[in-house]
Copies of this chain bind each other. A is one copy, B any other.
Amino acid sequence: MIERIHLKILREIDQLGSLTAAAKSLHLTQSALSHSFKKLENQSGTQLWHKKGRQIHLTQAGKFLLNEANRLLPQMERLDEVLLQYAKGERGALRIGMECHPCYRWLLKVVEPFLAEWEGVDVDVKQKFQFGGMAALFNHEIDILVTPDPLEIKGIKFSPVFDYEQVLVVATTNALATHTTVSPEALSNEVLFTYPVEKERLDIFKNFLIPANCQPKKHKLIEATEMMLQMVAADRGVATLPLWLVNEYQDSLPIKAVRLGDKGLPKKIYLGIRTNEEPTEYIRAFFKLALKSKF
C-alpha cells in the first residue's frame, strides 16, 4: 500500500538524484529509504527503479508514481496546513483566482468588507495559473474564479456579479478625447496598450478590431494597470479598461474615457465555484458581497 512517505521519497530522489541525498533531506538514513521501497516493491511485485552504476534510474512504473507524487503531495500537504489553520481559530481561507486583470481593484472593494465581516477567514489571491483558472478550480487550488469568460462545464457554476462597460482610455490631449465614441478604424493610427495575454482573450481585439478587420498602429504589452494609465496619460498610446476604473483615476490623471462603437462594449464579471460540494458559509457570503458591489 502506497503511503505518503513513499511519494515523498520518490520526489526527493528525483530532485536530488540519489538515495543518500534524499535520505538526508528527509532526516532519515539511506538504509531506511532502501528498506521502505524494497518492501513496497515486494508488496506490489513491481520494480520502481534500478541502479545504473551509482545512479538511480526510475522504471516506467517509478516514473508514473513520481508523476502522481508531484500531483498528489501538494494536495496532501495542504490538508495539514488547513488543519493548523482551523486550530488557530481561523475558519479557513478563501482562495480566489483572477483571470481578469483590471478586476483587481474591483476585488479589493469586495474583499475589504469581507475581511471585516469574516475575521477568521483569510483571503488569498492567485493571478498566475500554470494550467489556467479552470484547472485550478478543479484541482482545489482555488475556491473561486473571477473571470470575464465563463464556460459552461459540469461541476463548475458561473454567476454574473458585476456589469460594466469597457471603454477606450485616452489622454485629454489626444485627438480622440473630443469624440464621444470611437470607431475601429480610428484606432488604426493609435498605439494600443494591453495586458500581456493572448489576443483572443482581449475584447478589444476579439469583439471590436478583428470583426471590423482593423488593427492598431502598434500593439504594446504592459502588465501593471497603473503603468498603463500613466502611459496613456502621457499620450504614448491608448488602452481599453473598465469605465469604473477610468472614473476612479479621472481626477488625478489627465485621461478621458471614450465609448467603443455606438453601443459601447458591455462586460460582465463572473464568479465560478465548484458545484460538486456544498459551498462553505463564507464562500456564500463572498458571493453576496460581490453581488452588492457598486462603483
- For chain A, the count of residues having a C-beta within 8 Å of the partner chain is 45
Interface hit among A69-77, A107-115, A179-187, A262-270: A69-77
Assembly stoichiometry (copies): 2
Contact of A138 among B44, B67, B75, B135 (CB under 8 A): B135
Contact in complex: A151, B154 (CB < 8 Å): no
Nearest chain B CB to A124 CB, angstrom units: 16
In the bound complex, residues from chain B placing their C-beta under 8 Å from that of A2 are 4, 76, 79-80, 83
Give the CA-CA distance A155 to B139 in the complex, in Å: 12
Give the CA-CA distance A84 to B40 in the complex, in Å: 11
Contact in complex: A46, B83 (CB < 8 Å): yes
In the bound complex, residues from chain B placing their C-beta under 8 Å from that of A84 are 44-46
Is A65 an interface residue when CB atoms closer than 8 A count as contact? yes
Contact in complex: B3, A3 (CB < 8 Å): yes
Contact in complex: A68, B79 (CB < 8 Å): yes
Contact of A132 among B79, B154, B277 (CB under 8 A): B154
Nearest chain B CB to A87 CB, angstrom units: 3
Nearest chain B CB to A67 CB, angstrom units: 6
Query: What per-residue 1/0 map shows which CB atoms of A140-163 lie under 8 Å from chain B?
Result: 100000000001011110000000
In the bound complex, residues from chain B placing their C-beta under 8 Å from that of A64 are 82, 86, 92
Q: Which residues in A have some Cβ–Cβ distance to B below 8 Å?
A: 1-4, 44-46, 60-61, 64-65, 67-68, 71-72, 75-76, 79-80, 82-84, 86-88, 91-92, 129-135, 138-140, 151, 153-156, 275-277
